[in-house]
Amino acid sequence: MKAQPESYSSLVDADQGIVSREVFVNQEVFEQEIARIFARAWLFVGHESLIPNPDDYFVSRMGMDSVILTRDRQGNIHVLLNSCMHRGMKLCRHDQGNARALTCPYHGWSYSTDGQLVETPGELVGVPGLATHYHGQLDKKAWGLVRCPNVVNYKGTIWASWDKEAPPFLDYLGDMKHYLDAALDHRDGREGGSEVFGGVQKWRVKCNWKFAPENFIGDMYHDISHRSVDLVGIGPSVGKGRRDASRRRMTIGFPGLGHGLLGQLPHTAEDDYVPLYTKHPEVEAYFREIHAARVRNLGDRMRVQTSVGTIFPNMSFHGRQPRTIAVFHPISPTEMEMWRFYLVDKDAPQAVKDATRHYYLRYSGPAGMTESDDLENWSYATEASKAPLARQYAYNYQMGLGHAQPIEGLRGAVQSGDVSEENQRIFYSRWADFMAGKSWADLIPG
């Protein structure tokens, strides 16, 4: 198929619940996604706990590009393109580290993020042979590293957008904020307070990157994928199932924003405590205590609960069991690199950190007893959609079409019961809006 630029958005018919397979396998569509979505949208880049000290850096990705997340000597966080301005050499080839200056191994150009030393983070400070070979004639200020213009630290999570015109992150997030908070805030209800365990799982999956966010945006229908692990029972409490039961879980989506989740509607009182982690008495005692603190701390304030959700385009998070952040980096139309970070309350006792980490790792990641089956399904769905005949037939997203209801107390949100494909329609409508090249005024109406 040769899709014309203006026709990319026509590949999605959300009103009919139809999405063309070209969206998942077409090289041209993929290249336009990189330009129209990944170069504009707010993307998750990392977590502040990965760069706790001055001069720490962590190498991340934004779309197809390698970027460096740094903390300068003044404590400010920056996102810089990981490519030397001289010959393009990949500057940081470590996953993380600590360096006063970022020095290129090829010809030795070096860049500083130290605000005492330079005006602009990433400025070129060292050029071997500047006086002799360049005869002093090089505009160092013009040849600093490319710097991402929008970077935000939201409760420890770092987000960035390449588009100078991008709206503030909180406008982009909208009332999805409450559901992200439910993952990032301390379990006792205090704001923030979470950190990630050291080490980021990174692995390649031969599937289109969108299979992951559309799954995590709320696909209760795919429970059959996980029957084997449910039969075995890997939950932290005694009995079958892969996690402790969630109550009143609904499909909740934000049609104007492309975000969505499975979780609870806003409420103002905490549910009675239900034992969690009963296999681990010390951990169980902690969660019981934390629940009592949460009841005290939140009082009758509005709160929500998130099981799993997606922030458009490529970040998903689990808020309860497990508690993790996942990112889906596009590699090609039929390959992604998936990253997982695991979250924990910073001040939780070691026994809690240990029990939760063990549980999360047997649930998620490439060796996760739950996730390994998803990866098989996403790969072979992609594989079987590639061939010329198969790719002519659109995917069906018609479940629960026309049954979404507005949610009181949440701006622009709808709920569609416990099992629905409303959130997938929301996700692909948003995809179509970005692919149509709409302005931010149209994408985020005031």
Partner 1 sequence: MDDTALKALLLHREVEDFLLMEADLLDDRRFADWLALCTDDIRYWMPMARNVQFNKTAQEYTREQMDTCWIDEGKETLTQRVKQLATGIHWAEEPQSRVSHLITNIRITEVTPDAAGNAAEVQVRSRFLVYRNRLHDEVDIYVGKRRDTLRKLDGAWKIARREIFLDQNVLLAKNITTFF
By CB under 8 A, name the binding residues for partner 1.
93-97, 99, 197-207, 225, 227-229, 231-234, 337, 340-342, 354, 357-358, 361-362, 365-367, 369, 371-373, 375-377, 379-380
Beta carbon of residue 222, minimum distance to partner 1 (angstroms, whole number):
11
- Hunting for tokens 């090089």 — which residue is that? 138
Beta carbon of residue 211, minimum distance to partner 1 (angstroms, whole number):
12
- Distance between CA 32 and CA 8 in Å, rounded? 9
- Distance between CA 354 and CA 74 in Å, rounded? 33
Beta carbon of residue 184, minimum distance to partner 1 (angstroms, whole number):
18
Q: Give the residue with the Cβ less far from partner 1, 197 or 395.
A: 197
- Distance between CA 342 and CA 100 in Å, rounded? 28
Q: Give the residue with the Cβ less far from partner 1, 357 or 391.
A: 357
- Distance between CA 140 and CA 420 in Å, rounded? 55
- Distance between CA 27 and CA 383 in Å, rounded? 14
Q: Give the residue with the Cβ less far from partner 1, 279 or 411.
A: 279
Q: Give the residue with the Cβ less far from partner 1, 240 or 296.
A: 240
Beta carbon of residue 1, minimum distance to partner 1 (angstroms, whole number):
25
Cis, bond preceding 322 (omega within 30 deg of 0): yes
- Distance between CA 84 and CA 111 in Å, rounded? 9
Beta carbon of residue 378, minimum distance to partner 1 (angstroms, whole number):
8
Q: Give the residue with the Cβ less far from partner 1, 25 or 250.
A: 25
Beta carbon of residue 202, minimum distance to partner 1 (angstroms, whole number):
4
Beta carbon of residue 50, minimum distance to partner 1 (angstroms, whole number):
12
Residue 374, H or E segment: helix 371-383
Q: Give the residue with the Cβ less far from partner 1, 381 or 436.
A: 381
Q: Give the residue with the Cβ less far from partner 1, 106 or 203.
A: 203
Q: Which DSSP state fits 193?
A: B
Distances in whole angstroms, Cα of residue 25 to Cα of each of 188, 207, 360, 431, 437: 44, 9, 31, 15, 20
Q: Give the residue with the Cβ less far from partner 1, 64 or 293.
A: 64
Beta carbon of residue 233, minimum distance to partner 1 (angstroms, whole number):
8
Beta carbon of residue 365, minimum distance to partner 1 (angstroms, whole number):
7
Question: Regarding beta strands 194-196 and 335-345, do their DSSP bridges make them parallel or antiparallel, or are they unpaired?
Answer: antiparallel
Query: Of 109, 111, 149, which is closest to residue 130 (Cα–Cα)?
Result: 109
Three-state DSSP state, 44: strand
Q: Give the residue with the Cβ less far from partner 1, 169 or 363.
A: 363
- C-beta separation of 196 from 289 below 8 A: no
**Per-residue buried b or exposed e for 256-266, using 16+ beta carbons within 10 Å of the residue's own CB:** bbbbbbbbbbb
Query: Of 11, 143, 3, 125, which is closest to residue 72 (Cα–Cα)?
Result: 125
